[in-house]
Amino acid sequence: MPETLCTKGENPIHNALRQVSLLQNRWTLSGFSISGLSTYFQIPELDICVDMGECPLSALSINHILLTHSHGDHSRCLMRHNSLRKMMQNPTPAIYYIPDPVYDLAHNMIKAETLFEGVSEERFESPELVRVKPYEYFTLQERKDLDVLAFPVKHSIPAFGYTIFAKKKKLKKEYLNCGQEQIVALKKNGTEITDNIQEPLISFMGDCLGESLWEERHIWNSPVVVCECTFLDTDEEGMARKKGHTHIDHLARILSKVGSCNCEKLVLTHFSMKYSKKHIFEVISEKIPSEFREKTVVFL
């Protein structure tokens, strides 16, 4: 049966394996995100997935999985990813970065799922889970050139957002006017001539109340910000708060406060599955402040 564009109020037909892609300079953001159904984002060039609500084959080559929270539409395919990589005989174990509040639960869930599939307890091998704590910077295990900042966001359950940084070395100010021979001599003498800097690449907010976009406003230093926008209609702001999600009106108010910033693309995701594409585009076109309108990308 062919897919059709529904009207507002009808149930749209979604396919979590049909990915959306956004090209950003030297890397691509691909994936899918519809509230309650599935959310996962892939950046193959950075060797990163954020969330694993579905596990397409394209995810199997990616070594680092960052989990925002434990709701099933974001987490249910963590074990599937691990199992398929083993089945395909991938020699490198994937690393799963798990928010501290649900770390033990994640381990128990993965073990229970393995036993459910018929593996004996003696043969159970846990995948590599890394406990991630609030406001902790960590370097990706297979990408030493990338750092990640984990930060808590407000949702109906414990949840994290993540900012990805490129690590670079920059010549210290006092050596900017030195010639090549001087630089070589300083290096030979063991002088540290560079500073380590972190350049933000992208921030993922995960599921959160709109106020987290202001409380964690360091995200606006990133050229790309991925932000949920679950609810759109004027009578749904109370529902958004009750369920721990962002409403378009709250987002618009935050964007007006943010004003000028380093954000070049605002990627809106995680819309309720009850909305048609037409309705989503109409509301966003109306509600997003003018200074962000050209930057806004609808992830559909």
Spatial CB neighbours of 185, under 8 Å, sequence gap ≥ 6: none
- pLDDT tens for residues 201-239? 999 999 999 999 999 999 999 999 999 999 999 999 999
Average pLDDT, the chain: 89
How would you classify the pairing of strands 20-24 and 296-298?
unpaired
- pLDDT tens for residues 109-158? 988 988 898 888 888 888 899 999 999 999 999 999 999 999 999 999 99
Spatial CB neighbours of 80, under 8 Å, sequence gap ≥ 6: 52, 55
Q: Tell me what pLDDT residue 193 has.
A: 65
Q: Determine how many CB atoms are found less than 10 A away from the CB of residue 84.
A: 15
Does domain 20-298 bear CATH number 3.60.15.10? yes
The CA distance from 13 to 248, in Å, is 23
Taking the CA atoms of 136, 68, 154 and 263 in sequence, report the sign of the dihedral they define: positive
The CA distance from 169 to 273, in Å, is 44
Residues of the chain falling short of pLDDT 50: 1-10
Q: What is the dihedral of CA 82, 85, 91, 96, to 10 degrees?
A: -30
Q: Tell me what pLDDT residue 195 has.
A: 65
Q: Tell me what pLDDT residue 186 has.
A: 65
How would you classify the pairing of strands 137-140 and 38-43?
unpaired
Q: Tell me what pLDDT residue 24 has.
A: 76
Q: Tell me what pLDDT residue 63 has.
A: 97
Q: Say how many residues make up the chain.
A: 300
The domain segmentation of the chain, as residue ranges, is 20-298
Radius of gyration of the chain (CA): 21
The CA distance from 138 to 6, in Å, is 43
Do 245 and 230 contact (CB within 8 A), yes or no? Answer: yes
Q: Tell me what pLDDT residue 183 has.
A: 66
Burial bucket for residue 271 (CB in 10 Å: 0-12, 13-18, 19+): buried
Strand order in the sheet with 159-171: 137-140, 143-153, 159-171, 194-204, 224-228, 265-269, 296-298
- Give, as one character, the DSSP assignment of residue 281: H
